[in-house]
A and B are shown apart, each in its own frame.
Chain A
Amino acid sequence: MTVESLLIDTRFGAFAANDRDIVTLVNALPGFERCRRYVLLSARSLEPFTCLQGLDEPRPSFLTVDPRVVVPGYSLPLEDSDQRRLDLLPSDTPLWLAIVGLSADAASVNLRAPIVVNPRRMVGLQLLPATSAYSCDHRLPLD
């Protein structure tokens, strides 16, 4: 397999990645149906946040965080159908990414519809549970 180098623009600057860093969504994110390929970025100063950067137009850029860091004990059941779509085996440790929304003076996390990634296969999807105890805009403390 050839490894292609990609130059990627993000809200935090521009940098290079390889095609093996690409996470492909088996189902696109609602609102961004044409963007399937993303790269997950980290920086020490931003931890525990990561940046989920879309590679297909309109190249959306998301700030993400593991929901278990925001709410200790957070857990959402993974339906059998979702496990199959992600090809999750019992030995796999999926990655959980909740999308962070920023406004001028507030931040909130979408705990209701997290993105789950199977790092072994580099595939992911956003969970859309019909009912949930978690909200779409869980407030994050600023200071």
Chain B
Amino acid sequence: MLVFTRKRDEAIVIGDGIEVRILRVGKDGVRLGVTAPPDVPVHRQEIYQMVGAANLSAATAPANAKDDTSMVERLATRLRRDSAASGLSADAVGRSVAKVDLSAEAVGRSAAKAEPAR
């Protein structure tokens, strides 16, 4: 890890013009100002790590997937019932992205060599 000593109003520059400036040094914390290009997102580490942990625990690798299809179908049935009751149809929430149909026929037709993951 690179270590710098910086005073108030001094900065470091990372990569192509990302600037991290010390704005204030207080008893309980240091106030930083970050200037970065619009395509570089800047996050507090604890938020990034919290979402990263949630993503990691939600992801399933196809190679060691357990058979969770029946549970998903149970959840789906319940959600369809709830949204029908609230008058919210699936079409109402916009579904314009290109989606690949994951039907049993499609699997059988196009994946002659591949074993289904479950």
Which residues of chain A have a CB within 8 Å of any CB of chain B?
Answer: 7, 9-17, 20-21, 23, 26-27, 29-32, 39-51, 54, 58-63, 65-66, 68-70, 72, 81, 84-85, 93-96, 99-102, 107, 110, 112-113, 117, 119, 122, 125-126, 128-130, 136-137, 140-143
Q: Once the chains are docked, how many angstroms separate the CA of A60 from the CA of B97?
A: 20
Instruction: Pick the residue among A10, A11, A32 that contacts B55 (CB under 8 A).
Output: A32
Contact B62 A59 (CB under 8 A): yes
Q: Are B51 and A49 in contact (CB-based, < 8 A)?
A: no
Q: A26-B39, A62-B59, A69-B79 are in contact. Are A42 and B65 (CB under 8 A)?
A: no
**Are A49 and B76 also in contact (CB < 8 A) when A68-B88, A100-B58, A119-B97 are?**
yes
CB-based contact A95/B56 at 8 Å: no
Does A141 contact B107, Cβ atoms closer than 8 Å?
no
Report how many A-B pairs have Cβ atoms within 8 Å.
208
Interface string of B80-107 (1 = CB under 8 A from A): 1011001010100111111111111011
> Does B14 interact with chain A (Cβ within 8 Å)?
no
Minimal Cβ-Cβ distance residue in A for B87: A72
Q: A49-B72, A59-B62, A128-B48 are in contact. Are A13 and B118 (CB under 8 A)?
A: yes
The 4 closest A-B pairs by CB, nearest first: A30-B52, A14-B114, A16-B110, A60-B59
10 sampled A-B residue pairs with Cβ under 8 A: A14-B111, A14-B114, A17-B100, A45-B76, A47-B76, A49-B72, A49-B75, A69-B79, A128-B51, A142-B75
CB-based nearest A residue for B110: A16
Closest partner residue, chain A, to B65 (CB atom):
A11
Is A13 within 8 A of B117, CB to CB? yes
Does B116 belong to the interface (CB within 8 Å)?
A: yes
List B contacts of A40 (CB < 8 A).
97-100
Instruction: Write the residues of chain B forming the contact surface with A, with a CB cutoff of 8 angstroms.
Output: 38-39, 41, 43-44, 47-63, 65, 68-69, 71-76, 78-80, 82-83, 86, 88, 90, 93-104, 106-107, 110-111, 113-118
Contacts of A141 in B (CB 8 A): 78, 82
Q: What is the CB-to-nearest-CB distance from A20 to chain B, in angstroms, rounded to a whole number? A: 7
Chain A residues near B69 (CB-CB < 8 A)? 11-12
- For A107, list chain B residues within 8 Å (CB): 71, 75
Q: Is the CB of B41 within 8 A of A27?
A: yes
Does the CB pair A13–B74 fall under 8 Å? no
